[in-house]
A and B are shown apart, each in its own frame.
Chain A
Amino acid sequence: MITLQFVPYNELSKLTPVGRIKKILDIAKENKIVLVEGRLKPEEEASLIQRTMEEVSKEFKGIELCTIYPESKNGDAFEKIKSKMINMIVGDRRGLTVIGPATIVKDIKRDPNKILLFTNNLGKKKRRK
């Protein structure tokens, strides 16, 4: 069984950057796939990778990570300003970040508009034990 845990934007926005990374990683370490509303900043993504590397162990091999962020390439300047104003007021909730523990998620392939999530064959692994 695979568990997906949704983390709403509000839940992360009240935390410090370190707190956000910790929360996401703690869930992933419980062998759950984390779906975060919105996206992390590039610096937070780098911190997430750093922190993940610090936590790699026999049981926790790391994460697979993918972000989808809708960017309107053809939007005019006024639309972009409007969008930035909304982000400033309510926060940037656009996009979706998927973080899965590497023990469960084998690969996440991303085309510009879709995410393909490949899981490890957990049943087969159990039989080996």
Chain B
Amino acid sequence: MIKNITKFLNNLFSSVFGKKKNIKLGLYGPPNSGKSTLANRISKDWLGEEMSKVSKIPHETRDIVVKEKIEVKSKGKSMIFNLIDTPGIATKIDYEDFLKFNMNKKEAKQRAKEATKGVIESIKWLDSMDCVLVVLDSTINPYSQVNITIIGNLAARDIPVLVVANKVDIKKSNVRKVEDAFPQYDVVGISAE
């Protein structure tokens, strides 16, 4: 799995960012698609430590998390990048949805408030990214407007994108559907866990 991401980074490194330092690699996607799990996997593989908290409750990541100076070595070359885990982008947030996860009303309202700010931050950070992994849950319909809006915005900014179809270990996973939804992009099927 990491090999595919390294290949994506190496291609970018040699073609686009040859002279640029501190490349910012962002992880974008809807809530609960596995961005933070993947961020931890990348960070653990290359730095030996995790970077984000993960949970089954949506909007666990509500602030931008940055892991600086990750060094990747491949084929005698090395590159350094900053990995940026972003809050999931959503068009609606209802605190009542969090009550299902054994939260009290106050906690749920607080989480909803922080989640709205997280979405705003994620969108603001789009302009700062050099390349992005769009992490999608391959067990659900990829034709959602959030996915289309994220990828459309990255395309409008000419930011290189690799679509990561996560959760391939689940029976319902359909990487082919993700590929069909975004035929102009490379799609890599993974299980970040």
Contacts and interface: CB of A to CB of B under 8 A. Distances in A.
Interface string A70-102: 000000000000000000000000000000001
A53 B126 CA distance: 16
A49 B143 contact: no
B153 A50 contact: no
A64 B143 CA distance: 13
B93 A41 contact: no
B2 interface: no
B94 to A, nearest CB: 4
A111 interface: yes
How extensive is the interface on chain B, given as a class? 20 to 34
Contact of A62 (B90, B148, B152): B90
A53 B156 contact: no
Interface string B151-164: 01101100000000
Contacts of B152: 42, 45
A54 B116 contact: yes
A111 B141 CA distance: 9
A54 B155 CA distance: 25
A56 B152 CA distance: 24
B89 to A, nearest CB: 7
A111 B152 CA distance: 17
B92 A64 contact: yes
A49 B91 contact: yes
Nearest to B150: A46
A61 interface: yes
Contacts of A110: 143-145
Nearest to B89: A49
Closest 7 CB pairs of A and B: A62-B92, A42-B152, A102-B92, A53-B116, A61-B94, A45-B149, A42-B153
